[in-house]
Structure 1
């Protein structure tokens, strides 16, 4: 049994043979189910130009899902700060917080949200990727503009981190931190340690607060869990080869895929640091990660083909 709060990250999978509209309807059904299961938060990731993941803006998804649920905290995991003007982010999320008091989170991140170079340039209007100083200024300005809002209610800001540099920024600004263990698990422990060591109390948080996001696939049998992890493994293998042009494959399609030795080694190393398997196995893996990072909360990302299997995974972990 996991004694930490559990939350979920929604990446809005567009399954092979379905449409973006189907993915949106699945998101709505999943949110209602997570709400009924007692999950704490549901965050939406910013993605662009990917047939496997819907390009659904986190502020719009936050608004829609907050209206369709009752207890879940809802927000971004995250809005990619370099892609947007700070004033736009602040206006959107203070409005959301006023509409849904006490339920809105603003997770800020740095990545482009896409592997497509043309889309990344378009999001930046032709500007190069943000420097460390530019990113810090964007985050600081967004926080300042939140405090200037006249609505009374504020979103809860978090910084999404996958490196020690990001952890240092979160610590300096006194922000709660969301560690992207599901993206760069090799950096998680060093980032968590640096964050705790350098944290400065702020208006946003009096003490360090760590949320760790873990790729989690839970099923009634080990065999079924292995089958369910394979479609996302195919997507990852394609990304390793610089490909991102296919929809999210079905379990049957993924079963026919053959990985190269290099791909399999990378996937095995990554999977060993996530949480896959039966409830007992997943519980032990999540407890280990929580203990090693001194996490205050765990967020599960479950990129599984089929809404029923995806929701079953969340049920079994809960």
Structure 2
């Protein structure tokens, strides 16, 4: 059992043979169930132009889920700053925080949210990739607008998403809690968090370092069943590592029939060793070890499995076998 809170990241996978509307119904059911189970947060990721991941704006999903739940915190994990005007992000999430006090998070990230160059340019009105300075200005401006332009009452809780030492350095400089994408760049986790804690500057948003680790977690009754459920994401993951974002999310049966090269199999084995896939006992040990290794204040689970019932079952098993009663989260300073 672990004592830190558990949360979840919803990436809204669109399964082969289903429609986007089916995925939206599934995300609604996930929000309701996680609310019932006592998970601390549920965040929505921003993606575009992918056959495997729905292009559903996090702000819309957050608003929808907030109206249907009572206690789980909701927000973005994240909205991608280069794709949005800072004042619009402040107004959108400021409004949500006023409607749902103390339940809204604004997780901000940098990536384009797509592997398609034309889509990335369309999102930025023809502009190219953002620079480090432009990204810093976007995040800083969003925070400033939250205070200066959104006089609606309670503010959303801001987080900075990171998968690299550079992102960790910015979170430390701005005094923001960090949500680290261990599920994407596990080899960067320890060095990035060390830099973040060493260089953290207290701010009105956060008085001391706060670390959330996002980890890919697939829990089933047996290790073998968890491996079967994780098979579809293995195919998508190998494609992403090759820069191929156009791979549909296959069924477990299609994944089981897929053959990986020796290099791909080794890469997947190394990746799985740093995540949490398996029976409740295996997952409990992996998550406990990750907390001990990183000193994380919170874990966020991303569970990309094909069927809604299997995804909900994974969350339920983790709740039963891993999650202690949720501690009261440390409030941010304002």
Give TM class, smaller chain.
over 0.9
**Corresponding residue SS for 2:179:** strand
In structure 2, the partner of 1:13 is 13
* 1:50 is the counterpart of 2:50: yes
* 1:23 is the counterpart of 2:23: yes
Quote how far apart the aligned CAs of 1:241 are.
Answer: 3.5
Range 258-267 or range 100-109, more displaced? 258-267
Report if the CA contact (8 A) 2:114-2:245 is conserved.
no
Residues 221-278 of structure 1 deviation map (CA, whole Å, 9 limit, x = unaligned): 1110110111000111222334333421111111111111221121111111100101
In structure 2, the partner of 1:310 is 311
Quote how far apart the aligned CAs of 1:187 are.
Answer: 0.3
Which whole-Å CA distance do the structure 2 matches of 1:206 and 1:185 have between them? 26
**Corresponding residue SS for 2:128:** coil
Quote how far apart the aligned CAs of 1:146 are.
Answer: 0.3
Which whole-Å CA distance do the structure 2 matches of 1:13 and 1:39 have between them? 20
Which whole-Å CA distance do the structure 1 matches of 2:117 and 2:311 have between them? 31
Which whole-Å CA distance do the structure 2 matches of 1:151 and 1:242 have between them? 42
In structure 1, the partner of 2:162 is 161
Residues 95-129 of structure 1 deviation map (CA, whole Å, 9 limit, x = unaligned): 11011111000000000011111111111112111
Residues 191-234 of structure 1 deviation map (CA, whole Å, 9 limit, x = unaligned): 11111101111100111000000000000011101101110001
TM-score (norm: length of structure 2) = 0.94
* 1:123 is the counterpart of 2:89: no
Counterparts in 2 of 1:135-284, with a 5 A limit? Answer: 135-148=135-148, 149-284=150-285
**Structure 2 unaligned spans of 5+:** 320-334
TM-score (norm: length of structure 1) = 0.99
Dislocated runs of 4+, deviation >3 Å: none
Residues 71-96 of structure 1 deviation map (CA, whole Å, 9 limit, x = unaligned): 01000000000111101111100011
Which whole-Å CA distance do the structure 1 matches of 2:196 and 2:12 have between them? 30
Which whole-Å CA distance do the structure 1 matches of 2:304 and 2:74 have between them? 19
Aligned residues: 318
In structure 1, the partner of 2:104 is 104
CA RMSD of aligned residues (A): 0.8
Residues 265-309 of structure 1 deviation map (CA, whole Å, 9 limit, x = unaligned): 211111111001011111111111111111000000000010010
In structure 1, the partner of 2:3 is 3
Report if the CA contact (8 A) 2:162-2:181 is conserved.
yes
Which whole-Å CA distance do the structure 2 matches of 1:44 and 1:123 have between them? 18
**Structure 1 unaligned spans of 5+:** none
In structure 1, the partner of 2:326 is none
In structure 1, the partner of 2:302 is 301
In structure 2, the partner of 1:76 is 76
